[in-house]
Amino acid sequence: MAITLQDINALRQKTQAGLMDCKKALTEANGDMEAAMEILRKKGQMVAAKRSDREAAEGCVLAKVDGKFGAMIALKCETDFVAKNADFVALANKVMDAAMAAKAKTLDEVKNLDVDGVTAAEAVVNRSGVTGEKMELDGYATVEGEKVVAYNHMNQSFLCTLVAFNKDCADEVAKGIAMQVAAMSPVALDESKISDEDKAKELAAIIDKTKEDEVKKAIEVQLKKAGINPNHVDSDDHINSNITKGYITEEQGAQAREIIATVGESARQNLNATKIEMIAQGRLNKYYKEVCLLNQAYIDDSKVSVADYLKSIDKDLTVVDFKRYTLRAE
């Protein structure tokens, strides 16, 4: 059976596969459209299975808003070359549009939505068969509020944010907060949104770090009294290296080791628990200011917090939810 260009285009519209792939599939299926679609689907599944252990670190991240509802999703692939392909980006937008239309709440819901006659998950597998790369949907998240804004960083599709507010506000104000989320990478809205378990873990880590800092200070005091630069003896390898370079003598190296061992042990045994707790609590509060959106210093005016900035616009205005997704390692 002769394969026409019309047949090829029809299959391509249904599967998003390339022209040559569609022609080969139709030829193999002797012109049977359904059989050709099955051939392409199996090809995509084989590619996906073969490359399942590969890392999909590139892709396209999108965030969109429809009234009081916002969503974001990432279609991931292996290479930047594929990520910039027009058909790949078009597929990401089709999946995003389907999710927005359905007001989908979860990634599993999105994967089962119709995209050009197949499920979104199947469409991704089909596209994987075309490119030969691992592809996957990831990072689906939603927000809802009286005012919702989406920010696509530099319109380059690798970092997106969503922010929902409790009431309407100017687009400029909303965009500023969305950019804050992109730049400062908060992990929670405020302290109350961090679990007790995570708070306890963070405090324990801060206490351990504070204790070590206090021990280090005690050692440095004694090293300086002995006429030894602490920077020359901050590790055993560094001591040996600086003896070789002539920065310290062998005697000073031995003295430094003795001070580090004896003073360090004594300092650990005599730590002031009240002082440690006060320092640790201060550092924990600083941590909240760094990771909680409403506690963070506003990027356009570091003298005020995000919460205070919003109150200066409207005393009742605040953020009720936010989401952030990036393909870049941070």
Render pLDDT for 252-275 as a digit per residue (tens, 0 to 9). 999 999 999 999 999 999 999 999
Give residue 43's pLDDT. 67
Give residue 320's pLDDT. 97
Assign 329 a pLDDT band (cuts: 50, 70, 90): confident
Asked if residues 149 and 163 have their Cβ atoms less than 8 Å apart, the reply is yes
Predicted confidence (pLDDT) per residue in 46-59, tens digit: 555 455 556 778 99
Predicted confidence (pLDDT) per residue in 19-52, tens digit: 677 778 788 887 887 887 777 766 665 555 455 5
Do the first three CATH levels of 5-50 and 58-187+319-326 match, i.e. the same topology? no
CA atoms lying within 13 Å on the CB side of residue 109 = 15
- Whether 328 has a pLDDT exceeding 90, the answer reads no
More confident residue, 18 or 98: 98
**Average pLDDT over the chain, rounded to an integer:** 90
Give residue 206's pLDDT. 95
List the beta bridge partners of residue 160.
152, 325
Closest CA to 39 of 53, 52, 27, 54: 27
Amino acid letter for position 219: I
* Domain map (residue ranges) of the chain: 5-50, 58-187+319-326, 196-288
Please compute Rg for the chain using Cα positions: 29
Closest CA to 327 of 107, 62, 6: 62
Amino acid letter for position 292: C
* Token representation of residue 35: 């059989």
More confident residue, 12 or 147: 147
* Token representation of residue 196: 């007790």
- Whether 291 has a pLDDT exceeding 70, the answer reads yes
Assign 296 a pLDDT band (cuts: 50, 70, 90): very high
More confident residue, 144 or 10: 144
Q: Return phi, psi of residue 323, to 5°.
A: -140, 150
Mean pLDDT of 309-319: 97
Predicted confidence (pLDDT) per residue in 228-251, tens digit: 999 999 999 999 999 999 999 999
* Token representation of residue 254: 């031995």
- Whether 118 has a pLDDT exceeding 60, the answer reads yes
Which CATH superfamily hosts domain 58-187+319-326? Elongation factor Ts, dimerisation domain (3.30.479.20)
SS3 annotation, the chain: CCCCHHHHHHHHHHHCCCHHHHHHHHHHCCCCHHHHHHHHHHHHHHHHHHCCCCCCCEEEEEEEEECCEEEEEEEEECCHHHHCCHHHHHHHHHHHHHHHHHCCCCHHHHHCCEECCEEHHHHHHHHHHHHCCCCEEEEEEEEECCEEEEEEHHHCCCEEEEEEECCCCCHHHHHHHHHHHHHHCCCECCHHHCCHHHHHHHHHHHHHHHHHHHHHHHHHHHHHHCCCCHHHCCCHHHHHHHHHHCCCCHHHHHHHHHHHHHHHHHHHHCCCHHHHHHHHHHHHHHHHHHHEHHHCEECCEEEEEHHHHHHHHCCCCCEEEEEEEECCCC
Give residue 14's pLDDT. 67
Give residue 215's pLDDT. 94
- Whether 286 has a pLDDT exceeding 70, the answer reads yes
Assign 203 a pLDDT band (cuts: 50, 70, 90): very high
Which fold would CATH assign to domain 5-50?
Answer: Helicase, Ruva Protein; domain 3 (1.10.8)
Mean pLDDT of 164-186: 96
- Whether 304 has a pLDDT exceeding 70, the answer reads yes
CA distance 247 to 122: 66
* Token representation of residue 177: 């907060």
Give residue 273's pLDDT. 93
CA distance 262 to 1: 90
Give residue 47's pLDDT. 53
- Among the residue ranges 43-57, 115-129, 305-319, the one predicted with the least confidence is 43-57
Give residue 17's pLDDT. 63
Give residue 153's pLDDT. 86
Share above pLDDT 90 across residues of the chain, in percent, rounded to a whole number: 72
Asked if residues 283 and 210 have their Cβ atoms less than 8 Å apart, the reply is yes
CA angle 204, 205, 209 (to 5 degrees): 115
Assign 1 a pLDDT band (cuts: 50, 70, 90): low
* DSSP β-ladder status, 319-326 and 159-165: antiparallel
